[in-house]
Amino acid sequence: MKSQTNNVDVLKWIDDVILMTKPANVIWIDGSDEQLTALREEACRTGEIRLLNQDKYPGCYYHRTKPNDVARMENRTLICSEKEIDAGPTNIWMKPSEAYKLGKKIFENSMMDRTMYIIPYSMGPVGSPFAKIGFEITDSIYVVLNMSIMTRVGQKILNVLGDSKDFVKGVHSKCNLDENNRYIFHFPEDNTIWSCNSAYGGNVLLGKKCFALRIASYQGLKENWMAEHMLILGIENPKGEVKYVTAAFPSACGKTNLAMLIPPEGYRSKGYKVWTVGDDIAWLRIREDGRLWAINPEAGFFGVAPGTNKKSNPNALTSTYKDTIFTNVAINLDDETVWWERLDNNPPENGLDWKGNPWNGKKSKEKGAHPNSRFTAPAKNCPSISPEWESPEGVPISAIIFGGRRAKTAPLVYQSRNWQHGVFVGSTMASETTAAATGKVGVVRRDPMAMLPFCGYHMGDYFGHWLEIGKKTPNPPKIFHVNWFRTNDKGGFIWPGYSENFRVIDWIIKRCENEVEAVESPIGFLPKAEDINLEGLDLTADKLNELLDIDKESWAKNIEGIEEFYSSFGERLPKELKQELEVLKNNFI
């Protein structure tokens, strides 16, 4: 092994991992095309990945995981802070000494017949004052190739790091893929992540949720910035002015679709455009101008394949056409292309399903792709990618948008009264389950700021951090809540969704620019119906009023749910949020 750095802290840590895992070989990832090409060829020879049709999918490959290793393991995802109270009630805690002991036992000799790959990577543009550097040590070429898409990797990262001690230490090994010994340990106080016995992206691409949210959220707490589970979107008006928003939604609420939104024809013809800065994660800092600025720390998209098609998200689909890795989708053996449910109406007859079994999509009742099958695509492939997406200074944020799936409770859109009230709105975010997800309809699941599975410390302290950021930001973004999923008496959606959501974003931007007034309500500021542009939309004014209606009975139940949820945080729930809850209750008396 030839060392690529003289950083003594890096080298000492790597020596310790080598001693623990005992690899047969050690390779530093330098980020060169030559090295990555050689690794792709090697992985194709061993069957770890499969080359797809290079005429139709240039630079694209296929990977399949074991049936017991297809999603994030939240029940095995641990926060290992010294004090249990610091992990909080929403995380699974383990004492660091016990976690290290258990991890070392699992990792011991795990790479004896394998090559160890050392990946230096940057979350955020290389050299950006927003960026953070990490290392992932792994025995998986699949991980190397995905990390080279999702992050910036190689020697240039080591050059920026120099002798600094500020880096995140990540160790991953497939071990023997034993699900009973599958763990993802997070040590926020040590800037360390250990992942063992998984080969699925969400558990093993340590730069993503592990670093960019769980570890980074704790870093942000200590360093006065924010790591959030948010898309970043730019809206350009006909004058060429661009305003940026972030948005946090729980799963199945249209986050990726909004990130890559195409405006309705009526807006496009006037010159409106939407620019994608990021689809999943935002890091936000207070800049000298008193505003919050955001970067997308990632360099790629790790998207869910099923349901992605030319209608639902043409920009995401186009992003996958080159240099992409597909995981657990179906393969068409006739031409070595990929397919998944709702891609189109022409599934392959001569195919393999995600488990590798022969599959006829025209006749089989089994799904061809796993519901959580994925594509890992370079962000630069996206037709709507923003010219500013790699700006080292980030982009200034005008609005923060929260959202959820509520059949009756939340109106189409409303604005918080101020930052403190906005934090309350985000902290009480919720979605109702659908039959397809759980077998039960309408069960309310709280997911504050869409961070419930991803906050690396006590969520009560996290709410407090939000409140502090607001106090320290002279010109904070305005905060809104949206709900695309209001239903009529027959259970059908009233709002058409998809590209039409731009109409709501347009109103949000106008509110940020003080171009339209709003109506005060018990929950915040509602639009005047005439200020939501319905031109070219088959939606009556009566239907719009129905979308903006405040149902008192639903809100009474919602308040009960908030009180129950808040009770879990005990004394660490900020008093300001208790005050906001009392205001809400009094507004409905």
Are 176 and 158 within 8 A, CB to CB?
no
> Is 202 annotated as ligand-binding?
yes
DSSP 29-75: ----HHHHHHHHHHHHHHTSSEE--TTTSTT-EEE---TT-SS--GG
State yes or no: 44 annotated in a binding site: no
76-99 as b/e: b if 16+ CB within 10 A: bbbbbbeeeebbbebbebbebeeb
Please tell me whether 253 is known to bind a ligand. yes
Integer CA distances (angstroms), 134 to 215, 514, 538, in order: 11, 42, 50
Q: Residue 215 carries which side chain, given as an amino acid letter?
A: I
Is 123 in contact with 134 (CB distance < 8 Å)?
A: yes
Rounded CA separation 508/474 (Å): 20
User: In which order are the strands placed within the sheet that holds 330-332?
Assistant: 337-339, 330-332, 351-352, 358-359
Give Cβ neighbours of residue 176 (< 8 Å, ≥ 6 apart).
197
Quick check: 446 and 561 in contact, CB under 8 A? yes
Is 322 annotated to bind a ligand? Reply is no
Q: Are 480 and 401 in contact (CB under 8 A)?
A: yes
Q: Which residues pair with 531 in a beta bridge?
A: none
| Structure-token match 């009474």, residue found | 556
Distances (CA, A) of 411 to 123, 133, 401, 525: 36, 41, 14, 11
Longest dimension (CA), the chain: 71
Question: Any known ligand binding at 373?
Answer: yes
User: d(Cα 585, Cα 550) in Å, to the nearest integer?
Assistant: 14
492 marked as binding residue: no
Residue 405 annotated as part of some ligand binding site: yes
Residue 87 known to bind ligand = no
Q: Determine the Cα–Cα distance for residues 24 and 556; give it in Å rounded to an integer.
A: 63
Q: Answer yes or no: is 72 a known binding residue.
A: yes
Provide the annotated active-site residues. 253
* 533 is an annotated ligand-binding site residue: no
Q: Is 75 annotated as a binding residue?
A: no
Residue 280 marked ligand-binding:
yes
Consult the annotation and say whether 256 binds a ligand. yes
361 is in an annotated binding site: no
Orientation of helix 141-150 relative to helix 33-46, angle to 10°: 140
If you search the block for the tokens 């709410």, which residue do you land on?
463
499 annotated ligand binder: yes
**Closest by CA position to 143, among listed 22, 232, 49:** 49
Give the position of tokens 């939501």: 532
* Residue 421 counted as an annotated binding residue: no
Sequence-distant (≥ 6) Cβ neighbours of residue 55 within 8 angstroms: none
Residues in the chain: 589
203 is in an annotated binding site: no
User: Three-state SS for 259?
Assistant: helix
User: How far is Cα 125 from Cα 127, in angstroms, rounded to an integer?
Assistant: 6
Cβ atoms < 10 Å from Cβ of 446: 19
- Is 374 annotated for ligand binding? yes
Instruction: Tell whether 186 is in a known binding site.
Output: no
Q: Which residues of 220-258 are buried (b: 16+ CB within 10 A; e: fewer)?
A: bbeeebbbbbbbbbbbbbeeeebbbbbbbbbeebbbbbb
Q: Is 341 annotated as a binding residue?
A: no
Q: How far is CA 467 from its chain centroid?
A: 22
> Which residues are documented as binding site for substrate?
72, 200-202, 251, 372-374
| Binding-site annotation: residue ranges for GTP | 252-257, 374, 405, 498-501
- Which residues are part of a known binding site for Mn(2+)? 209, 229, 280
Q: Which residues belong to the annotated binding site? A: 72, 200-202, 209, 229, 251-257, 280, 372-374, 405, 498-501
